Copies of this chain bind each other. A is one copy, B any other.
Amino acid sequence: MSHGTGRPSSALLTDKYELTMVQAALRSGAAQRRTVFELFARRLPDGRRYGVVAGTGRFLEQLRDFRFGEEELGFLADHDVVDAATIDWLADFSFRGSIHGYAEGEVYFPHSPLLTVEATFAEAVVLETLALSTLNFDTAIASAASRMTAAAGGRPCIDMGSRRTHEQAAVAAARAAVIAGFTATSNLEAGRRYGLPTVGTAAHAFTLLHDTEPDAFRAQVDSLGTDTTLLLDTYDVPTALRTAVDVAGHELAGVRLDSGDLLAQAHEVRAELNALGATETGITVTSDLDEFAIAALAAAPVDAYGVGTRLVTGSGAPTASLVYKLVRRTDDAGQWHNVAKRSAGSKSSIGGRKRAYRILDEGGAAAEELIVVGDGQEPPEEQRYRRLQIPLVVDGEVVPEHIGSQGVAAAAERHAAARAELPAEALRLQRGEAAIPTRFAGA
């Protein structure tokens, strides 16, 4: 499953109908029509006030590997997925169109055009599934993660969710979490692939493995030094705490609580650590946290939050519900037409290519998401605004700085800035409406 680069092909991570549409469009001649597809969300996850764009870098990384090699073509031919003319077209495929979009870390709202893909129909439609899979998952995680880091204030949040989601999704989740302000991950592959800081010390099994808890703590400190975190809740927390300080001394970097009433325990453990002179020893809590539990611990003496299940499952919104829609195309004469599904219901869309601007008030706070359709005017010059779409792929060439492993630190900075720009109520955890309104112009 490679295509001469040594990297696996991403081309079959695709719904069959993308390829049968290519086949039928090659036959009808419409495959070569120029098109504009847009990727957007009709709504934010239930009750959320903003979303966070993530996955674009991973999509671009996989776009380079979206090639149909011998193995992929052999599968398609052997299983009659598409006809011989389509196989020939796919064999020569490499994306030569252009893609603009929101940068990773940027916040978004309903109908924000997160990606705008301009290419022939055949070239644009085959990217649909991969683009949606990548952005839907990563954006869901980043959107949840941002609420957690906001709730945590300045305290570090650490991704410990790998075991609760698909093993490759776990790597992407770590990346999305860091974009949204998490400081580190437990996932080693995420560390290797994306250069993220990794953390981890020991589990209950390590304590249970040894004959006694003091044996276990001594074994850990002997090997990992006092710059480690001892897990207190295998047997009895107060006993474990005294053992920990006895074994590691006041230099002990941290202790961890992974069960029970974290609020009460944090206060008790802090008081006891202080009483024992271990005033610099930090407390990490890690049991079933989400943004609400983190917020509830704001007044507790907690130094770091380890977040697992609720992070990697999007804290109730495991997908961002992004869609990828044809909004504009040429006809046989080369004339452009705006197009949109018109059938009744909530799934209708707005035809025409969109440009997006974050309108800022005089103080620099976000006031409005302006989406200009077609030939509509840019915001007036006296208006403060940011242009939200940047070039990601130009005539088939991916802009290197946005590729997966390159952009994480920049995306994290961008997210912090974009979130800080939002009105204060955007960070409320209660269910609510989008933090700023979206306005269409020129539609």
Contact = CB atoms under 8 A, between A and B. Distances in A.
Interface string A269-302: 0000000000000000001000000000000000
Contacts of A192: 12, 71-72, 75
Interface residues of A, number: 111
Nearest to A218: B28
A378 to B, nearest CB: 27
Given A169-B137, A347-B259, A198 B318 contact: no
A340 interface: yes
Interface in A102-142: 121, 125, 128-130, 132-134, 136-138
Nearest to A138: B166
A10 B136 CA distance: 24
Interface stretch (A13-21, A384-392, A425-433): A13-21
Contacts of A121: 205, 209
Given A166-B172, A260-B344, A224 B137 contact: no
Contacts of A208: 326, 329, 339-341
Given A169-B165, A169-B166, A81 B209 contact: no
Nearest to A192: B75
A125 B205 contact: yes
Contact of A206 (B25, B203, B235, B260): B25
Interface string A71-99: 11001100101010000000000000000
B13 A167 contact: yes
Contacts of A170: 13, 133
Interface string A166-201: 111111100000000000001111011000001111
Nearest to A325: B205
A318 B165 contact: yes
Contact of A343 (B23, B228, B234, B313): B234
Nearest to A337: B211
Contacts of A228: 20
Contacts of A188: 12-16, 19, 75-76, 81
B15 A209 contact: no
Interface in A377-429: none
Interface stretch (A30-38, A149-157, A356-364, A365-373): A30-38
A164 interface: yes
Nearest to A62: B167
22 contacts: A13-B168, A13-B189, A15-B163, A15-B187, A16-B186, A16-B200, A18-B200, A25-B206, A26-B223, A37-B205, A81-B188, A121-B205, A128-B205, A129-B163, A133-B165, A136-B165, A165-B318, A166-B166, A166-B169, A204-B325, A259-B346, A314-B318
